[in-house]
Structure 1
């Protein structure tokens, strides 16, 4: 690898870290943890279904199953999501986004847009500083 390769990788990691730090701050300012927001975001992104399984959410969060269950428990207690038995397979639990969770994820996603655009500009512009 060349020095330029290391510089690009460093710049990418720096910009990504800046985005994530600001994202964490935005989530906390809205009363959510960053992981709660990510869970809500992944549920909101389930086009056509409006729900996800615990396993699907664990994969999207890159988390262990039991940790994802604990996160869902906290979100359920906060009135953000609810579990429902699957319609085809009653043993499979579906996690659904509730109205309160839908409002919060929408608000936080909107607040992310300026920093997301900034990140895109910096990553797409050659040598973006």
Structure 2
């Protein structure tokens, strides 16, 4: 069952996302590609999902104490609490709410290896 986030501390709907892709992957930490993108609901940091090789979004959440991760995929409107392992309906977050639809999944274009399906969890 999903819960509403209107009164939950740790979600700041006014903070815009940090970019169009995983900031750590693009910064050289890991193989440089991701399966899906997630957004920190506290600070806007974009990271890669837990099915991605590097799992930067969850790493960021635990390191920074920002437990709410929002989907950064087109058409998805949820947040996940890494501490309680619960899904919530996402509040209206600052735009954009997803990576550009022109960006492939997995991405980014030109960085995804041919054997990517064997590398994801």
TM-score (norm 1): 0.25
Q: State TM-score, norm by structure 2.
A: 0.26
More strand by share: 2
* Structure with larger Rg: 1
